[in-house]
Amino acid sequence: MKPDDLKLFFLLLALGGANVATAQGLVGAKHISSALAHEAVGAAVAACAKNGYTVTAIIVSSDGVRQAMLRGDGAAVHTLDSAYAKAYTAASLAPVRKEDSTKAISERIAKTPGVSTAGLASLPYINFTPGGVTIMAGGEAIGGIGVGGAPGGNFDDDCARAALAQIRDRMK
C-alpha cells in the first residue's frame, strides 16, 4: 500500500466513526490528568529501576500528544524516541487492531509468518516492539504509555503495566 493510500485509509476510518449528532457540535475526549500521568511515568521508571533497568517512560493522549515524560537516571538518549513511538503506537494503532499493546501486535506478527507490516512500519513513530500499552478508561482507549530502555521489550512492557496497575483505580 502506498503512503497516500494509507493516509486515505486512516482518514476514512476516522470519518467512518463520526455520526450526524457529533458533526454539528463539539467532540469531547477523555484524558488522564497530568498529575496521574506524571505519577504513572514515575512508577514505570521506578519499576524498571528495581530490576536495574534505566528507562524512559512517556504517556501520550489518544491523539499522540505527549502528556508526561520521565527519563530515568542513566537512560540512554535513544530511549526518548523509543518510549514515545511505543506509546504512540499503543494509543493510535493497537486499539484500531483490537489489541492492548505493542507486545500483542508483536506477538501476532510473530505468529503469522509472511504478514507484511512494511506499510505501517514505515509511518512515523510506529514501533511494534513490546513496551507500549494502551491506557483504557471505561472501555475506551484514552492514551498510551511507552517504556524504552530495558534489555528487552518484554521488560519494558512489564514496567508499563506495573505503572498502569498502580493508577488504574483512579482512572474513572
**In this structure, what C-alpha cell is assigned to residue 155?**
521488560
CA 28, CA 17: separation in Å to the nearest integer?
14
Give the percent of the chain with pLDDT over 70.
84
DSSP 126: -
Q: pLDDT tens for residues 31-51? A: 899 999 999 999 999 999 999
CATH number of 29-170: 3.30.450.150
CB-CB contact of 145 with 40 (8 Å)? yes
What is the pLDDT, as a whole number, of residue 22? Answer: 47
What's the predicted TM-score (pTM) here?
0.83
* Cα separation, 51 vs 45, whole angstroms: 10
Q: Give 89-127 pLDDT, tens digit per residue.
A: 999 999 988 999 999 999 988 888 776 676 787 889 999
Pairing of strands 132-137, 66-71: unpaired
